[in-house]
Each structure stands twice: as structure tokens, then as C-alpha cells.
Amino acid sequence: MSIQLPKDCEAIPYLFSEELGLVLEYLPANERRISAILRKHGVPFIALGSTQKERQVVIRHRNKTVLDISTPKLLSWWEATSDRLEQEQMNPRMAKEQARRHDRSGPRYHLSFRPEATPLKILRQKDKHKVAIIREEGSNGDREMTSAFFWAGFEPWDVTMTDLLEERVTLNRFRGIVFVGGFSYADVLDAAKGWAGAIRLNPKLRKMFERFFNRPDTFSLGICNGCQLMALLGVVPWQGIPETKQPRFIQNTSRRFESHWGTVKITKSPAIMLKGMEGSILGIWSAHGEGHLHCPDPEMLSEARRKGLTPVAYVDDAGKPTEKYRFNPNSSPFGINALCSSDGRHLAMMPHPERSFLLWQWPWIPEEWKTKYQKTTVGDFHLWASPWLKLFQNARKWCDSKV
């Protein structure tokens, strides 16, 4: 940015004043309208300068340049104390790695499809496919998940494990089940182990879920804690893997809970819920403390990759799968954060599409997405919906095809 300070002020007191105020960035075309509104309400203001493409901060005062410094260097100064504290609070190697990333270029999203809202005709249907939003003690992602499936055209049901255990409801009536995110049993036994034990050690529940998973007209989704659960249940990447070789999710290499907005790439796979989204690079929320994909048998991971059963990966600003922190919050190999079954009916993901299925849930979007029309490989279109809504719409379309 390029700043021109008023001549009648002193630079240091002016820049470091703690009086009430804010800095507003706007498009040049809107300056007159914004100025008029501020004047109308008697709000004092000054046009400080302009945003520049160059990553440089230049401040001028009384015909002199009083500061000319690169933005990354300024950021490194500003965050130096926080960067040092990080080394005491997490894996110090990764803290140092993060401190070197002040010179990021920024994410580059890419759409390979046209995001569209669900037609009102479908939302108003009376006879909809039923999906069970399953939660356990400590789960906290059920409301967002319910909303996502509702806006995709499903009839979502709030189902607790106690409901299933006491047979107040069974899985026979549902086309889909979803294991939501959170911290079941506070992760006391490690991620999702308590939840997995409640199913695997109860013959009645174990058989109920086995019947559901093996019905050809059903699908399942596990997010975050639910993703960890599906791995422990042996649903993904395929059933029948010995426990000693079963892929699972363990503590993040950073040694702490990671919650941030990151970037992922969707690759070709049999996953029904990701159909038509291949090649897209999108922002998404992550929030987990144990999301590192651990494969006791390295060949198991190689086989899963060969079969296309690792459909989503964290990527860097260049769109390349990465293990580098903090592009990849858990350091999983090859950036992998999702597993799907060979037939594509079962999908387990660490990041949260249900917390990103509405555009206002995105903390940042490309400037071109804010305008009326967006240019992509699929042409010009009106961006009515978040790209992640398609994941849930795909599940409904698959159910429609299996009626």
C-alpha cells in the first residue's frame, strides 16, 4: 500500500494514535458514494492512499518517504513475538516453519463446475430421502450438517447413539447416515475410539451398522470425528483390512488442535459425493487435533492411492498437494485428508464441507467471485451457491438414481 500522510500532522503520533477509528479498503469506483455517506452522518475521514499490487508498504510525509519496506518483512517484525511464543506451545520445528511463511502468494481457487442452488421444487417436495445425522456425547457438528443436507433436498433426522441403542429408531428407514464432527467422549481414549467402541463392542449395534453399510442403496459420510470413526470401523478405504494394518487418524504432528481456513484439491475418485468436482481447488474449514493419516502398512496407502481412494488433499498456494505446515494442518502424507470406499458410497473427510456450504461461511473468496459473473473453464455464470453445496446435492442425485 502507498500512504500519503497529511502535512499538518506529526508522523509517529498520527500513525500510532489509539483513538477510535478504522481503516476501510474500497474499490476506487465507490469512493464518491462512500464519502457522501460519511459526510451525511458527520463522520470525519481522510483518504490515506491506495492499495498496490506490489508487496511493499510506502509511507510519505511532507514530500519525504518516511518508510519503504516489503510487506513480508513488516509482517515478520509484527508477528515476531507470536512466532516465538508458538515455539513454546507446539512442535518447535513446525513453529519455525510457519514463521518463514510471511511471503505467501495467497490461495488460488479453481472451479471445474457450476455451483447452483437446489431448485425450490426439490426443497418443497414432501417425500424426500431420509438421512440420519448421527451424534454421540461430545459431538458438535450436527446443526451445520443438518442444514447442509436440508438445503440439498434431504429430510434430515437428528439421531443419537442412545436412540439406536434403545431401538427408538433403526437405520432401516434411512438412505444415508452421517457421523458428525466434534469430540466424542472428549477424545479421552484418542480420537473417536470411544465412539467406535460403543458400536464394535455392542453386537446389536455392530450388526445394525454392518447391514446398513452393505446395503447397495445406501451412502455414508463421516466428517472430522466422524472421519476418524469410519476409519476405526474399517469402512474406508475398504472393508476387511486387518486391525494391525487399518489406516487411522492420530495426533497432529504440530501436537495441538488446529482450526483454520485452508485450501484443498479434489481429485478423480469413485466417491459419489464428489462427482463432477474433480480438479476443483477450494477453501474449507478444518478443526481437529488428531487428523494425521497414519498407515501402519505403507503398501496399504500406496494401494489406496492407486485405486483413487484418496480424493481430497491439502494444497499449497500453487495448488500442489503438500505436507508442509500450515498449508497442511496435520502433516498427513501427500496432503491426504479424505478416504472413500471402492464403490464410492462411503466417504470420510477431516475438513468440514458442512461449515463451508454457504458462501457467507467463507472468510475469503476471490475478487471475481464477488462480481455478478465468474469466468471459469465452464463459462460465465451467476455464482448463486457455495461450491461445497454440490457435495450434498450429489448424494441426493445418487439416491434419486437408485430409487
Task: Give 69's strand partners.
Answer: 57
11 shares its domain with 143: no
Q: Residue 21: its pLDDT value, please?
A: 87
Q: What is the pLDDT of residue 381?
A: 57
Domain count across the chain: 2
DSSP secondary structure code for residue 221 in this structure: E
The residue segments making up the domain with residue 205 are: 120-401
The answer to whether residue 87 sits within a structural domain is no
Of 10-24, 201-215, 313-327, 376-390, least confident by mean pLDDT is: 376-390
| Average pLDDT across the chain, whole number | 94
Q: Which residues are catalytic?
A: 224, 352, 354
pLDDT at 385: 87
Query: Is residue 319 in a domain?
Result: yes
The answer on 71 and 137 residing in a single domain is no
The number of C-alpha atoms within 13 Å of 51 and in the hemisphere containing its C-beta is 7
Is 47 domain-assigned? yes
Indicate whether 94 belongs to any domain.
no
Q: Are residues 239 and 128 in the same domain?
A: yes
How many percent of the chain have pLDDT more than 70?
97
Give yes or no: residues 151 and 208 share one domain: yes
pLDDT at 99: 87
> Does 99 reside within a domain?
no
User: Same domain, yes or no, for 157 and 35?
Assistant: no
What is the mean pLDDT of the segment spanning 41-55?
A: 93
Prediction pTM value: 0.91
The reply to whether 390 and 270 lie within a common domain is yes
pLDDT digits (tens, 9 = 90+) for 141-169: 999 999 999 999 999 999 999 999 999 99
**101 falls within a domain:** no
321-378 pLDDT per residue, tens:
999 999 999 999 999 999 999 999 999 999 999 999 999 999 998 877 776 545 555 5
Q: What percent of the chain has pLDDT over 90?
A: 88
CATH number at residue 232: 3.40.50.880
Of 21, 41, 76, the domain-final residue: 76
5 touches 61 (CB < 8 A)? yes
Using the predicted structure, report yes or no on whether residue 383 has a pLDDT greater than 90: no
Mark whether 60 and 158 lie in a shared domain: no
266 plus 190 within the same structural domain: yes
Q: For residue 232, which of 294, 175, 180, 172 has the smallest C-alpha distance? A: 294
What is the Cα–Cα distance from 372 to 151, expressed in whole angstroms? Answer: 22
The domain boundary residue, chosen from 19, 53, 76 = 76
Query: Which residues 6+ apart lie within 8 Å of 232 measured at CB?
Result: 192, 193, 196, 200, 246, 248
- What are the pLDDT digits (tens) for 282-298? 999 999 999 999 999 99
- 50 and 136 in a common domain: no
**Position 297 in a domain:** yes
Q: What is the pLDDT of residue 251?
A: 96
Q: Specify the pLDDT at position 366.
A: 86
Query: In this structure, is residue 90 part of a structural domain?
Result: no
The residue out of 44, 76, 108 marking a domain boundary is 76
Gap between the Cα atoms of 72 and 76, Å rounded: 6
One domain, residues 271 and 383: yes
Residue 238, SS3 per DSSP: coil
Residue 315 confidence class, pLDDT cut points 50, 70, 90: very high
Query: Taking the CB of residue 386, how many other CB atoms lie within 10 A of it?
Result: 22
Task: Judge if 265 and 357 occupy the same domain.
Answer: yes
Taking only the tens place, the pLDDT of each residue in 103-135 is 888 899 999 998 999 999 999 999 999 999 999
For 118, what's the count of Cα atoms within 13 Å in the CB-facing half-sphere? Answer: 25
Query: Are 67 and 129 in a shared domain?
Result: no
